[in-house]
Amino acid sequence: MAGTGGAVRMDDPKLDEFLRTREEMYRGFNRAIVWTVASVAAILILLAVFLL
């Protein structure tokens, strides 16, 4: 990291906050994907039960 004004320190509170908020965002995004897939699967199962 020469010439960038110093290396990024791992105890930087702004970096910690950024990583934490990004992790929470990804956790929520993954939860939304799981709920969407589960909902579609449940709808398909119900359609198969009632229509076949």
pLDDT at 23: 92
Question: pLDDT confidence of 52, banded at 50, 70, 90?
Answer: confident
Q: Write out pLDDT tens, residues 3-51.
A: 555 565 567 888 889 999 999 989 989 999 999 999 999 999 999 999 9
pLDDT at 49: 94
pLDDT at 6: 56
pLDDT at 8: 55
Q: Model pTM?
A: 0.57
CB crowding 12-33: b at 16 or more within 10 Å, else e: eeeeeeeeeeeeeeeeeeeeee
